[in-house]
Structure 1
Amino acid sequence: MKNTKSSGSVLSKIFSLRNIAVTFLVVYFAVFLAYPIFKAFAGSLHDWNPLVGTYEWVGLANFAQILTDKLFWTSMLNTAIFAGVSTFFRIVLGLALALLLSSKIVKCKDSLRGLFYMPTITPLVAVSFVWMWMFDPQFGMIDRVTGLNINWLHDTKWAMPAIIIMTIWKDFGYATVLYLAGIMNLPRDVYEAASIDGANGVQTFFKITLPLLKSSTLFIVITSLISYLQAYVQFLVMTEGGPGTSTYTISYLIFDQAFQKYNFGVASAQAVVLFLFTGVLTLIMFKVSGDTDLS
């Protein structure tokens, strides 16, 4: 009887803790996810300036304004270029290094894995300041090592490539670790069968390794695109959107409208467009990959 009572007491405590955890998660997502999304959608339909207490209904006027704004479309194009190029090289470098680290010719693998992943966990603001120094045309290491004479962050042709280079350097370790985990879990018998059939290294990579890493690649692509579509910290720190509007991205434009000009209505409309664009892009990625049924 004592064992039965003690077991019932333990179970009741477990269920009580589970209910508390579920309640906490519901409240957390309601406060920090659902409410901000609702507020952004509602704010996009209003002339909203918290400094002067303005919150007046304007309907779709904010959307009409941003869709006819040249700077908005410039920012969208810059965002697409930044996200696409950064994601592509993140995947290429991450996969190449993962294959190298998983091979038998490389020693000290654990140390190299930590070294490559270290930039990923380094604060972005700190990394941005370091790379600002490296890109400096007078005493920066980039121009000194390469022998170039480029004013990277103040040249409209080089500012965006400079930020992309910094972003790739910081983030490729994330892809490397994920690909390494995927490679370590690949079935060995498939490679043995390919070797018996006479497949060379290139054929094995494109016919076996790459297809088997499809889920890892999809995950990296989706998380990278979502992250890069929202990127603004490196642009704020390194160029403040300049020179001119050459490094304006949609997230930086939202930040500028909301916290520089306090035009929260227009900023909310831009955020809604970004939200919808990101959602549609994610669905397209799943559809193209064939990993889920969206019909």
Structure 2
Amino acid sequence: MRHIRLPKILSFRNIAVFFFVANFLVFLAYPIAKAFAGSLHYWNPMTGAYDWVGLENFEAILKDPLFWRSIWNTFYFSFFAVIFRIALGLGVAVMLYSQLAKCKTVFRALFYMPTITPLVAVSLVWVWMYDPQFGLIDKLFGIHVNWLNNPKWALPAIIIMTIWKDFGYATVLYLAALMNVPTDVLEASQIDGANSWQRFWRIIMPLIRPATVFVFITSLITYFQAYVQILMMTEGGPGDRTYTISYLIYDRAFVNYDFGTASAMSIVLFLITGVLSFLSLRLSTGKE
């Protein structure tokens, strides 16, 4: 019986490996290779043009002020979105983890619900909330700010929406990590005279560091690719104040049909994201 089941197990494993490799080649390796090749060509699918230009696309984007503005906006957007996602996620997780919190399952579901809500729908709701005439934000705080059309507030407004939508994801991960902290270690530290603040910073934070690293790196990758909320809420405006590198890639490729320049920008974005993720992982490993 064991000899009969073994070929079936091997057959299932081979099929699973085949689909995994096929998925990797079709949806990851091929698009990256195609983007790299396209970055070296003048590529316009509407006219069928695909002419070799070498590094001219990279030279063009490095001379483009909008590209550098998009890079700055992307770093600005990612920095604040990642920091506040981690801070709010950890803070809410600690509150839910405490013995004083009631109905933990209900609150956990409520905080996580925006994360699984489609980003397009959330963006449209927040566009209405930011409306200067009948929006909820201005009425709630008794102010009058034209959020999405104000060069000063447009990008922060999108960041606020993004944090609200995504911090529940960090909350759930941190809550799971906190529940895995050994209670005997906390009890021993309490017997040794450590107060709540010392237990949190010297025991809990080091033990949940893997969750922090995971949230940080996944958030960094996600926010460097952010463009849906930009498209739905401001379309890069006012002016170039909310252009991110991902939205600029979309604009160059699917609005101007300049796929060569868009491919060059995507390669730059790929390298920046890879380097930052690698450095974050190395730094966290060193601390570990």
Judge same fold: TM > 0.5, yes or no: yes
Alignment counterpart, residue 77 of structure 1, candidates 69, 72, 90: 72
Give the Cα separation in 1 of the matches to 2:28 and 2:191: 53
User: Which amino acid is 1:83 matched to?
Assistant: S
Tell me what 2:225 maps to: 230
Q: Is residue 241 from structure 1 mapped to residue 233 from structure 2 by the alignment?
A: no
Runs of 4+ in 1 over 3 A off after TM superposition: none
Equivalent residue, structure 2, for 1:285: 280
| Identity across matched positions, percent | 62
Number of aligned residue pairs: give it: 288
Unmatched 5+ residue regions in structure 1? 1-5
Rounded Cα–Cα distance in structure 1 between residues aligned with 2:140 and 2:205:
35
Cα drift, residue 65 of structure 1? 0.6
Aligned pair partner of 1:143 in 138, 150, 169 = 138
User: Is 1:255 aligned to residue 245 of structure 2?
Assistant: no
1:61-210 equivalences under 5 Å are: 61-210=56-205
Partner of 2:24: 29
TM-score (norm 1): 0.96
Instruction: Give the superposition deviation at 1:14.
Output: 1.3
Equivalent residues in 2 for 1:47-66 (5 A)?
A: 47-66=42-61
Alignment-derived partner of residue 208 in structure 2:
213
For residue 100 of structure 2, give the secondary structure of its aligned residue in structure 1.
coil
Gapped regions of structure 2 (runs ≥ 5): none
Q: Structure 2: which amino acid aligns with 1:157? A: K
Taking a change above 3 Å as real, the CA distance of residues 98 and 39 of structure 1, as seen in their structure-2 partners, is: same
SS in 1 for 2:51: strand
Whole-angstrom distance in 2 between the partners of 1:55 and 1:65: 17
CA RMSD of superposed structures (Å): 1.1
Displacement of 1:291 in angstroms is: 5.2
The CA deviation string for residues 87-121 of structure 1, in whole angstroms up to 9 with x for no partner, is: 00000000000000011111100000000000000
Give the conservation status (yes or no) of the 8 Å contact 1:82–1:160.
yes
Distance 1:130 1:208 in 2: 41
Determine helix, strand or coil for the equivalent of 1:231.
Answer: coil
1:88 maps to a residue whose letter is I
Aligned residue for 1:210, secondary structure, equals helix
